[in-house]
Structure formats: structure tokens, C-alpha cells
Structure 1
Amino acid sequence: MNLLRKPKANPDQLSLDLFAIEPAAPAVVTPDPGPALPSPTEQTPLIVTPHPVVHAAPLPPTLLPDTPPSTRPADGRRRIVLGEHTLDYALLRSKRRTIGFLVSDEGLRVTAPKWVTLTEIDNAVREKQRWILTKLNEHRERSARRLQPQMQWCDGATLPYLGQDITLRIRSGQRAAVFLDEDTRELNVSLPAGAGEQQLKDRVQGWLQARAEELFGRRLLVYADKLGVTFRSFALSSATTQWGSCTADGRIRLNWRLMHFTLPLIDYVIAHELAHLREMNHGPQFWATVQSIFPEFAMAKKALRDSAPETLPVF
């Protein structure tokens, strides 16, 4: 899926983003400057401030265990040995007062004050190496999933439905009938002779949206009753950047593509949005409210965050 730039936040509406299940982080985050570092003349140990919220990025192609550590990259990036890894990183000097780390599509970038020595910067990277390598590996795995072959819309193709694969079976017929055989896990789609791929996708999408409207409506009532709140309206969403949203006047929207995931993940998003009827923020009291009706929220939040929307069927 092509992801659009996230719109500016509306104080009257909170949403659950596709990638940021925790309080939403922008694509590029400026690290908290933290406490000021003393000047080089003062005898105070260097303060290192890690980037507070970071989107993981793939390991750079030059991250090879057998690369001679003495070799410097030709593009001006610095190279450092972290255990069995040889890591290249970009160094940016600025007027900031702390050392900051940012992991992006280009790999690791370190921003440091002009007066901090290269040795001190390398030591700061070594100190945070576990965090850095974890973030790089997470995004490398996500990137690998994105490179998987896209779904072929044809008879015998499979797509995820409530966390399990179902198989598409094309049947000849003029009537627009779509039904799921629970025993065989086959989704039977009736199409006229000569129908193309787009017609098949349209039929499947229409069926998924109808099932989503039924399921989401039932689960909203369950969790609204648990929380003791009333929502004003509910509608499906086709947003490319949000799993759900809730306005201050109780209007809830849920992304129909949640039907690709298991019921606990769907329930988490529903509990999340309903909790905004109590707390229109993402503060500690909000998360306590979510936990009160969905105790397993932390596991569901992580699972949904780790899922790769790019691997879902493209409609």
C-alpha cells in the first residue's frame, strides 16, 4: 500500500495509525534535546541522549561481519565494529547540546555537537549498540516481508481472513454471489465469463466490507457495554494511514482491512477507539482505560505494530 503523509492532528479526533500503535510518532522525529552538555572545558562526563521514538530501518548493505574494520566508507560515513558486526553510520554536526540517534531508511544517523570528539561519538554508539542493532534488524525483517511476491488475483489464490488464509474459487455465473465454505476455507466467487482481475477484486472487497460491518458492529457493542460508554455512530474506513479513529462527539471509524487480522487484534483497535470516549489523549489514564476492558492490549498492540501493511493484498 502506498502510505500518504499523515494529516495534522485534530484536537477533536484521535486515531490509531497503521504503524504507530503507541502514541503516534511522525515519520521524522526531532530528538528531545535533553539537558545541556557542559562546554569542553568543564570536567563533566558526556551526556548521551538516545532518540526517544524511532522508526526502524534496514541494515545498510555495508553491514558485513567480514568487512575490514580499518576500511572507511567512500561516501564519508563512519565505520565502527560492534561485536561481530561492522556498522556504517552518518555523522551530522549541529548546534544541539546532546548526542542523538536516528534510524531511517538510510540506516543510522548520529547527530552530535561540534565540540564532541569522534572517540566520544564512537563510544556513545557502542553504549547504545543493543538498541541500534535491534531497530535495524526489525526494519530489515519488515523490508524482507515487503519484498515477498504480490498476490495474484486468480482461481486458487489465497488471502488472509481473520488471521487465516482462505482460497479463492472462481465460479461461472451471472449472479454476484460470494460465500465462504467454512469446512474447506474456500471463498467461492461467482463471475460472468470473461470477467477480469478487477471484477474479482471488487467482489472480494465488497464481501470483506460486508463482513467487517457485521463483525465490527457486534464487537463495538460488546466493548462499549464493558466500558459503560455510548458511541454516536460507526462507519467503515478505507484510510491508508489509520486503523481507526474516534471524534469527541462519539463518531467511530474502523478500517475494513482489519478483517485480515485475528479477532484479538480487531478487538484491541475497537477497545482503543472506545477508550477515547473517556480520554481524548494517549496519556497514562487512557492506557489504563484500554487495559480495563482489554487486559491483553500490550501483546495485541505489538502484534499490530509489527505487522506489515505492505504485505496485505492490494485492492
Structure 2
Amino acid sequence: MKGRRPPVSPAAAGSAQLELPLLAPPADPVAATSPTDADAPNPTAPLGPDQRRLTLGERTLVYHLKRSSRRTIGFVVDDRGLSITAPRWVTLAEIEHAIVEKQKWIFAKLAEWRTQAARRVLPPMRWQDGADLPFLGKPVTLRLESPIGALMFDADTRRLHLGLPPSATEQQIKDRVQGWLQTQARRLFGERLDLYAERLGVRHSAYALSSAATRWGSCTADGKIRLNWRLVHFPLSLIDYVVAHELAHLREMNHSPRFWDTVESIFPEFREARDQLQSHPPEYLPVF
């Protein structure tokens, strides 16, 4: 059976807060499982409450099953693995029959996601002198010493001088770097919000940084905007896209064609930036 995305209900379209998820909404509703383990799990590993296991020849497929009021069986493969959403009246035997019919596509998509993840994943971050981390899309090198004896960033050499002693611990280095990044994010995001708000002719009532694990930004009906500080790792174009996205919600509290027209009116390159952002899930950022 071929899954189709169900229409958005009026209640969802008029919600009090809209969020920009860390990963783009897939074509069908999603539940979670790991793509690296999805087609070759430990046969004795316990399953989660919504997980099921199906043997297909020499392969064992683990997936999450969600029941809903939709009229078709939907398949989604993303960085979290395989998820299936099925009507409440469809039997498990019918679901498994649909899996068998679609298994070639499923395994191909799982392999594709693993390949993409391997290309994007960063090596483990080592919090030490000489380490690099991304800032505005380019690497910045950490240096413990500082020519002024305090925290400073040299834009010409792209070195962040921390002003810490050689004996500094990883936690001290991490805390100093995170504080600097959040300070830069707060300043830069505020400037971009002011710039694009003026272009659109809107005003937000409040703005704050967030450390949300599931979204890059959010906007409430009363004009409060929150932006994930981890965006500061990305090029300015991606930050501008999220800023334009959230400000557009002050005009259109939905994701209708009119909403996307509003985004495009102040940020014409939004499609390219949106695609790039969708390929940057949080697990590929330095771990703080």
C-alpha cells in the first residue's frame, strides 16, 4: 500500500505555537528506531513498547508501529530508522504483508541513510588546545593562551583564545567555549531578527535562546520567538532562514502556501537553506 501524508487538521493549523523541527517533517507520521540496527538487530535485544521485529529471509527488520486514523499504511525511513503508521483497523498480518512487498525500498532507504550519516558525522570532540569546532560555517581553532590574558576571538586567524592555563580541564574549556558561543549567538540572532523584522514590517514581543533537543526555533501566537543557540555553528544563510521562518509566523501562524510566500518575500533563497538545514541533525554537532 502506498502511504500519503494526511491533511493537516484545522486545529493543528491554528495551534498557539509553531516550531521548526531539527529534522524536516517526513512524508508520513514518524516513530523512532535506529537505522544502524534496523536491519540487523541483536535477536535477543528487548524491544520498546511500540517496536516489532520481522524476519525477512536472512534479515531481521526492527520497526516502530503507530496506529492512527489515517486510511493508508505509511512508511518512513529517516535518521531514526523505520517507522510505520497504519490505520487502527488494519491487522498485523496485513501490515507485515505490506512490509514484504516494500522490503526492497525499505532496505535501500536504510542503507542510504547510513551512508549519509557516515559522511556527516564529526569525529569525537577533544576539548584541548588546538581543537577545531564550527562557528558560522567555518572552523575555529581553540587556544588556551591569550595575548591579552582573557577571552578573545581573532577573526583574521579564526582562533579563539580562551585565556586559560595549560592545566585547564576539559570541562573548563568546554564551559568557556559554550559561554562564548552563546554570547555570539545572542548578539547575532538579535541583529538578524531586527533586520528581517524590519523587512517584513513586523515586531516580535520577546526573543530568547533555547537549547531545545527537537527544534531550531519556535514562535508563539503572542510573538515570542526562541532560537536554538546551536545554530551559531552554521553559515549565516541558515541562521537567516530560521529567523525568516519564525518571523513569518507573525503573519501566518501555519505552514500554508501563504506562509512560504511570506518567507520568500524576505528571504528568497529559503529553499536551498532549508534543504541544507535538513541535512544537519544535532548529533553531527560538537557535544557540550
Instruction: Give the TM-score category using the shorter length.
Output: 0.7 to 0.9
Deviations 1:51-100 (A, max 9, x none): xxxx99348555xxxxxxxxxxxx75124xxxxxx9765699x9997554
- The residue number in structure 1 matching 2:15 is 11
Q: CA offset at residue 194 of structure 1? A: 3.2
How far, CA to CA, are the matches of 1:251 and 1:224 in structure 2?
Answer: 13
- The residue number in structure 2 matching 1:68 is none
For structure 1, which segment, 186-195 or 136-145, has the greater mean C-alpha deviation from structure 2 after superposition? Answer: 136-145
- The residue number in structure 2 matching 1:77 is 55
- The residue number in structure 1 matching 2:132 is 158
Q: CA offset at residue 311 of structure 1? A: 2.0
Structure 2 residue matching 1:171: 3-state secondary structure = coil
TM-score, normalised on structure 1?
0.68
Please tell me whether the aligned partners of residues 173 and 193 of structure 1 are also in contact (alpha carbons under 8 angstroms).
no
**Cα 1:236/1:172, change in 2 over 3 Å:** same
Name the aligned partner's letter for residue 75 of structure 2: F
- The residue number in structure 1 matching 2:35 is 57
TM-score, normalised on structure 2?
0.74
Q: CA offset at residue 215 of structure 1? A: 1.1
Is 1:211 matched with 2:184?
yes
Which consecutive unaligned segments of at least 5 residues does structure 2 have? 1-11, 41-52
- The residue number in structure 2 matching 1:234 is 207
Counterpart of 2:31 (choices 28, 32, 41) is: 28
Please tell me whether the aligned partners of residues 56 and 136 of structure 1 are also in contact (alpha carbons under 8 angstroms).
no
Structure 1 residue matching 2:264: 3-state secondary structure = helix
How far, CA to CA, are the matches of 1:261 and 1:117 in structure 2?
Answer: 41
Name the aligned partner's letter for residue 160 of structure 1: P
Structure 2 residue matching 1:240: 3-state secondary structure = coil
Identity across matched positions, percent? 51
**Cα 1:191/1:296, change in 2 over 3 Å:** same
Please tell me whether the aligned partners of residues 211 and 230 of structure 2 are also in contact (alpha carbons under 8 angstroms).
yes
Please tell me whether the aligned partners of residues 90 and 109 of structure 1 are also in contact (alpha carbons under 8 angstroms).
no
Within 5 A, what are the aligned runs for 1:98-117? 98-103=72-77, 105=80, 107=82
Please tell me whether the aligned partners of residues 236 and 256 of structure 1 are also in contact (alpha carbons under 8 angstroms).
yes
| Superposition RMSD in Å | 3.8
Q: Name the one with the larger helix percent.
A: 2
Within 5 A, what are the aligned runs for 1:1-315? 11-20=15-24, 22=25, 27-28=30-31, 57-58=35-36, 60=38, 76-79=54-57, 89=61, 98-103=72-77, 105=80, 107=82, 122-123=100-101, 129=105, 132=106, 135-144=109-118, 148-171=122-145, 177-192=150-165, 194-315=167-288
